[in-house]
Amino acid sequence: MKRRTLQYSRFLALLLVFALMVGVVSAQGDRKVLVDAGNAVGASDVPTLDPSLATDTSSIQVLIETNPGLTRINEVTLETEPSMATWTVSDDGLVYTFSIMPEVPWVKYNAETDAVEQVLDENGNVRYVTAEDFAYGIRRSIGGQLGSYYGGIMASWVVNGDAVYAGELPVEELGVEVLDTYTLQITASKPAAFLSTIFGMWQAYAQPAWVIEEYGDFWYEPESFQGYGPFTLKEWIHGESITIIKNPFWPGTENIPVPALDEVKMMVLEASAALANFEAGAADVSIVPLSDIDRIQADPVLSEAYYVGPGSCTYIYGINTAKPPLDDARVRQALSMSINRQALIDNVTKGGQQPAFFFARPSLAAAPHQEDYPEYVLGEDVEVARELLQSYLDERGITLDQMEPITLAHNESEGHARIAQAIQQMWTEALGITVEIQTQEWAVYLETIKSDDAPQVFRYGWCLDYPDAHNFLFDVFDSQVRELGINWNNEDAAEFDSLVEQAMVEPDMQTRTDLYAQAENLLTNKDAAIIPIYYYTSLNLTQPWVQRTHSQFGQEYFEKWDIDLSARP
Amino acid sequence: MSVTDIASLSEARPKGDSLWMDGLKRLARNRMAVLGVVIIIFFILVAVFADQLAPKSYEAQVLADNNAAPQWVIDMFPVMTSKADGGYVTVSNDYILGADDLGRDILSRIIYGTRISLAVAFVGPILALIIGLVMGLIAGYFGGIVDNIIMRVVDIFYAFPTLLIIILMMAYFRGSFNESSSQGTFGYALYMADRSMGGMLFIFIGIALTSWVGLARLTRGEALSARQREYVIAARSIGSKERGIMFRHVLPNILGPLIVAETLTIPTYIRYEAFLSFIGLGVNRPTPSWGSMISDGSRAIASYPHQAIFPAIALFLIMFAFNFLGDGLRDALDPRMRGVE
């Protein structure tokens, strides 16, 4: 999860995001729409459409529409709801039995006839999505030796998953069983409240075995791609756009209705170019460039189209607690307390983000809200920060000038650079310390911050994979899975581990929330091993003739959108 | 004996100027070149006295003044409307050219950015002259096997794409090293050297690696023809040493075209730096460079055009100045142009 979420948050911070720039394609009254797969600097294309290998938001955005999972997250309530299947759970919370919707055909776009066609098998019968297809997808992700990142994440939750992933057991030993054509049973290795969400993630989507066997590694190109969801892949101009087209054979369900839109085209555009298109009326939905937010808010037309809603990520500075002077909690607290988060949001990041003192986003299940636990919130107080730093200096008997220099690292990006420069200045003004900013290219940066030798302070972001506090507190900071080089190893860290592990299996919601609040207290307040900065928001511009939902987790469900053709110029 | 109105013959003979004086005079008559010189001197003074000239610090941020602009800038760009008029721009006449997205004074940043551009403008040609001139002179004057070896080396370096090399070096040295795992290695030493130079080291190395080859070729060609001249034969016949002939007789005679060539290349070096800073590979933040200012400003060009346009004007002016100076020098130092008005 780390990988995708980090990339993802980087995009969000840049606001060059994979968000939606829906452009009108046709003037003929078709409900056609273009969606921007607008990747940020560097990656300028959707990296893959292989569900087993997808790790980034743009790939998942396409797949979520072409190959819906067994379950899926409601984009507004963040609750897990039936998608391709309904399910039952055994009393011990370990055996999940999924009843898959019958007779949903596999489909394929035929470029010659410009139509979506049902896929036939070798006997000329329509191929329906079966439990076998889902089992194939899961087995391929976990046991296919593809190096599937999310296959590895899922492996720890399925019986024998880790061993199969490592190649120590044959894939048949995996706890996934096809009971009949439309019934799939997954046996979990341990119970958890959010398992139904994990089994609905993209690495567990149904995959067409016959296509993958015939076409090999690049089976997901439009010439061979097959899907079954409300949309299917129509066209993919690498580095430029990707188009999905309505699947007329999609039966429509309560959660996934028959789409009103005929087509959605996602364009790879930089934020400023996307805005220019939007202002020219050439796009229906656009991402929002940071530099233009003030103008958008002041403009009578654009401000109507401007939407700010909750995002799915948290922006933090991680701290390598082994490196002096940050090996002392007082210095870490001083740094955290001397950041003026609201000023940073108002003047630098703009998009209405929320100041964060806890790591887990409040929208997650079981996540404590910082206003409910004021005694656990470190807060901001420059005076106290100065006293803390001074007491640390006095204890060591040194002056500020003799203190070790502090390095603040971030991956190369305009947005992170601005935030880092602003915080650098805040620390200099409040505490008189000098901070050197260091930037690294993304891949190297990831290695750097995961090594024991991580920089003293380093920028990090985390976005939800499934809406539970576990995904934030356990998946990132529990020492069993922790990859970040924060080197947080004292007795408080041990207590943190026991708290989040307890919360993982605790059935009562309020008790879980309390446990997570105590864990947050250790992580962000008492020990201040990280400095939470803000909770992301999701921003977009939507033309008035688009009726849509606003997703809180990064992907949109276009089948719930519509365009008012009479209002469109 | 006829009547004459002159006192002596020497008075009648026009006074001979040296080639250089003559060139200088002709340069002074070229208005565009003079304008170029004036602009260059102006920017040199700005760079030298940046600390005194800059009204504010180039790095101090006043976050509340982010993207602020003075009234005259707002009046100049119709797209910008002040908050008072229901728009979005914070009006602050404290900033002569406005402030950037972190509330830093644009004028001060342009003034300090002059140092970066001029450093590249002068270090480039100096490196090229030191390496290229010596190599070319030796090759051209001695000829034969020496010439052959040097020119093959030149051929190899000629194939190096300067920008690609700089980008590769930056990507490798800046991205690959972290504090302790690589400490003590040569790459790490280079990385630290680059950091201490504010990120200019690899720009200089890249320019040094490739900029000299053109000059070496030119010098060799000039030296090849010069060594056949009578004055060289004369110098040799009176027993001058080879090194003396090379540097005292050949070099001054071929220097003109070399200076012209180098002056005309200066804008290329400035462009390299601006381009690299534009794509985020130039000097380290928060040190301002015109390229990085234009890059930052271009992101906001729809809302705050002044942030990109002012540094762009500065860049335009200095490129323009060096180009016209180069053109003027070419006309002035060309012996064939001698005596032509």
Looking at the complex, does the CB of residue A117 fall below 8 Å from at least one CB of chain B? no
For A290, nearest residue in chain B (alpha carbons): B300
Average pLDDT over residues B30-49: 94
Long-range own/partner contacts, residues A303-308 (CB < 8 A, 24 or more apart):
A304/A544, A305/A278, A305/A541, A305/A542, A305/A543, A305/A544, A306/A539, A306/A540, A306/A541, A307/A539, A307/A540, A307/A541, A307/A542, A307/A550, A308/A351, A308/A352, A308/A537, A308/A538, A308/A539
The reply to whether A12 falls in a domain is no
Instruction: Give the minimum alpha-carbon distance from A274 to chain B in angstroms, rounded to a whole number.
Output: 12
* Whether the predicted pLDDT of B1 surpasses 50: no
Residues of chain A neighbouring B303 (CB-CB closer than 8 A): 291-292, 294-295
Q: What range does the domain containing A380 cover?
A: 309-537
Q: Residue A136 domain-assigned? A: yes
> What is the reported pLDDT for B179?
54
A446 near B CB under 8 A: no
Question: What CATH architecture does domain B22-54+113-337 belong to?
Answer: Orthogonal Bundle (1.10)
Over residues B209-233, the pLDDT tens digits come to: 888 888 899 999 988 888 888 888 8
pLDDT value for B175: 60
CB contact under 8 A, A291 and B300: yes
Q: Name the residue in chain A with its Cα closest to that of B85.
A: A298
Domain co-membership, A349 together with A220: no
Shared domain check, A466 and A410 = yes
Residues A222 and A371 in one domain: no
Looking at residue B335, its pLDDT comes to 64
Task: Find out whether A247 and A231 touch, Cβ atoms under 8 Å.
Answer: yes
Question: Which chain A positions have a beta carbon within 8 Å of B188's beta carbon?
Answer: none
Are B302 and A412 inside 8 Å of each other by CB? no
Q: CATH 1.10.3720.10: which residues of chain B?
A: 22-54+113-337
Position A27 scores a pLDDT of: 30
pLDDT for B10 equals: 53
Reading the block at residue B299, the tokens are 């992101």
Q: Does residue B141 carry a pLDDT above 90?
A: no
For residue A186, what pLDDT is reported? 96
Query: What is the average per-residue pLDDT within B314-325?
Result: 93
Give me the number of domains chain A comprises. 2
Residues A413 and A493 in one domain: yes
Residue A58 lies in a domain: yes
Report CB contact under 8 Å: B64, A422. Answer: no
Residue A476, φ and ψ in degrees, nearest 5: -100, -40
Q: Is B21 exposed, middle or buried (0-12, 13-18, 19+ CB in 10 A)?
A: exposed
Residue of A291, A342, A445 to mutate when probing chain B, most B C-beta within 10 A: A291
Residues A214 and A351 in one domain: no
The Cα–Cα gap between B228 and B17 comes to: 25
Position B178 scores a pLDDT of 53
Residue A203 near residue A154, CB atoms below 8 Å: yes
Average pLDDT, chain A: 86
A290 within a domain of the structure (yes/no): no
Q: Show the CA angle centred on residue A197, arms to residues A194 and A200, nearest 5°.
A: 155
Residues A452 and A409 in one domain: yes
Give the nearest chain B residue to A453 (CA atoms). B180
pLDDT of residue A443: 72
Same domain, A513 and A549: no
Look at chain B and count its residues.
Answer: 341
- The whole-number pLDDT of residue B17 equals 65
User: Comparing C-alpha atoms, which of A75, A72, A128, A81 is closest to residue A105?
Assistant: A128
Q: How far is A348 from chain B (nearest CA, A)?
A: 7
- Summarised one tens digit per residue, pLDDT across range A361-390 is 998 888 999 999 999 999 999 999 999 999
Q: Is A490 exposed, middle or buried (0-12, 13-18, 19+ CB in 10 A)?
A: middle
B-interface mutation test, from A278, A295, A435, A445, most B Cβ less than 10 A away = A295
Q: Is the pLDDT of residue B37 over 70?
A: yes
* Chain A residues inside the 8 Å CB shell of B182: none
Q: Please report, for the domain that includes residue A52, its CATH number.
A: 3.40.190.10
Do A358 and A216 belong to one domain?
no
A219 in the same domain as A122: yes
Q: List pLDDT tens digits, range B105-119.
A: 999 999 999 998 898
Q: Do the Cβ atoms of B302 and A276 come within 8 Å?
A: yes
CA-based radius of gyration for chain A: 24
Could you report the per-residue pLDDT of A177-188, keeping only the tens digit for each? 999 999 999 999
User: What's the pLDDT at B28?
Assistant: 87
Q: What region does A124 belong to: left with phi over 0, alpha with psi -120 to 50, or beta?
A: left
User: Are A295 and B303 an interchain contact pair (Cβ–Cβ within 8 Å)?
Assistant: yes
Q: Which of A:299-358 have CB within 8 Å of B?
A: 299, 343-344, 346-348
Q: Nearest-CA distance from B124 to chain A in Å? A: 27
Q: What is the pLDDT of residue A85?
A: 95
What would the pLDDT profile of A240-288 be if each residue is shown by its tens digit?
888 899 999 999 999 999 998 888 888 877 778 888 888 888 888 888 8
Same domain, A326 and A223: no
Nearest residue of chain B to residue A441 (CA atoms): B175
pLDDT over 90 percentage in chain B: 26
A171-175, A530-534, B146-150, B283-287: segment of lowest average pLDDT: B283-287
Query: Both A314 and A237 in a single domain?
Result: no
Q: What's the CATH number where A436 sits? A: 3.10.105.10
The answer to whether residue A171 neighbours chain B at the CB level (below 8 Å) is no
Residues A85 and A202 in one domain: yes
Residues 485..524 of A with a Cβ closer than 8 Å to B: which? none
Q: Which residues of B touch A (CB under 8 A)?
A: 60-61, 63-64, 66-67, 81, 83, 86-89, 101-103, 171, 174-176, 178-181, 280, 285-286, 296, 298-304
Per-residue pLDDT reduced to its tens digit, A332-359:
999 999 999 999 999 888 888 999 999 9
With CA atoms as reference, the chain B residue closest to A347 would be B63
Contact B302 A343 (CB under 8 A): no
Q: Does the residue A304 lie in any domain?
A: no
Asked if residue A351 is part of any domain, the answer here is yes
Q: What is the pTM of this model?
A: 0.77
Q: Which chain B residues touch A299 with a CB distance below 8 Å?
A: 88
A292: nearest CB among B61, B89, B303: B303
Residues with pLDDT less than 70, chain A: 1-45
